Amino acid sequence: MEKQILEILWDLRGEMKEVRVDMKEFRSELMTTQADVRSIRSDLNQTQADVKNIKATVDRIKASQTEDVLALLKVTKQSMDSEFHYVNSRTTDIDKRVFGGTVTCCSMNSLIHPAPHIFSSSFVAT
């Protein structure tokens, strides 16, 4: 009977050694998993910070794009106004030379649709 008890104890001792080895392996794997989770958490925090920066950049681009469009429209309007005034003054000078009088006003309509007698071939200057 003692021999059987000793054999059982030796078997239990061997199994306990296996359990300890398994526990050490489990502990090692658990530590690796925890390190991986910390790394993922760090990467996630960095990704969230990057997304916030991207959103801020997009918002700045949206705001500046609107400002750029308004600035382009203002420049275009100024350019068109300048061209209109130049063409208007040139037309007025031509009218003065052709008709010999003073023209008090020249509308945009007269620039687009000039008087037909100015360009007709039957017009004779006196």
Distance (Å, whole) CA 113 – CA 115 = 7
Q: Supply angle C-alpha 58, 49, 35, rounded to 5.
A: 150
Higher pLDDT, 108 or 15: 15
Confidence of residue 104 (pLDDT cuts 50, 70, 90): low
Quote the pLDDT of residue 100: 79
pLDDT, tens only, 64-101: 998 899 999 999 999 999 999 999 999 999 998 888 75
Higher pLDDT, 106 or 97: 97
Distance (Å, whole) CA 23 – CA 38 = 22
Percent of residues, the chain, with pLDDT higher than 70: 79
The structural domains of the chain, with segments of one domain joined by +, span 2-117
